[in-house]
A = this chain, B = another copy of it.
Amino acid sequence: MCISTYYSAYAHSAATLIFMTARLKGDDLATWRAFLNAHATIVGQIEADLHQEGLPPLAWYDVLWALHEAPDRRLRMREVADHVVLTRTGMTRLVDRIEAAGLLRREPVPDDRRGAFAVLTDEGDALLRRMWPVYARRVRAALERVGGT
């Protein structure tokens, strides 16, 4: 199994993916550095493409996508932070910026007056759809290079 499979919260989906890995020699360092290189390269390409097209960075995409997938297109602040893997405080500020751009709005939580929902707006949904092809192009290219179907 490849590193990424184990940590996947998405491998359960209908789209089954099976990674088989054989390492002839157990050089963990080289394996890990290869992994880091792949990540930096692909993420860098995606960020460059988005910037080129005048679109927001990857972090915004992650937030918008998480909201898009959620029931009623809304998540608690805490849940957003968990999805995006960012500190709570960083999330507050990031959501501030995305909200200022009109891509999401905050709403109170009926049952719990401490909390706040982040809710995807129609504008946010529209932008998400504009970002997707740019994002997907690079991901697909990266995966084709390694021999995917």
Number of identical monomers bound together in the oligomeric complex: 2
Contact of A39 among B11, B39, B139 (CB under 8 A): B39
Q: Which residue from chain B places its CB closest to the CB of A84 in the assembled complex?
A: B40
CB of A41 within 8 Å of the partner chain: yes
B41, A7: Cβ atoms under 8 Å?
yes
A89 touches B (CB below 8 Å): no
Tell me if A142 is interfacial: C-beta within 8 Å of chain B: yes
Residue in B21, B41, B139, B148 whose CB lies within 8 Å of A23: B148
- Is the Cβ of B20 less than 8 Å from the Cβ of A7? no
Query: Chain A interface (Cβ within 8 Å of chain B)?
Result: 1-11, 13-42, 44, 85, 136, 139-140, 142-143, 145-149
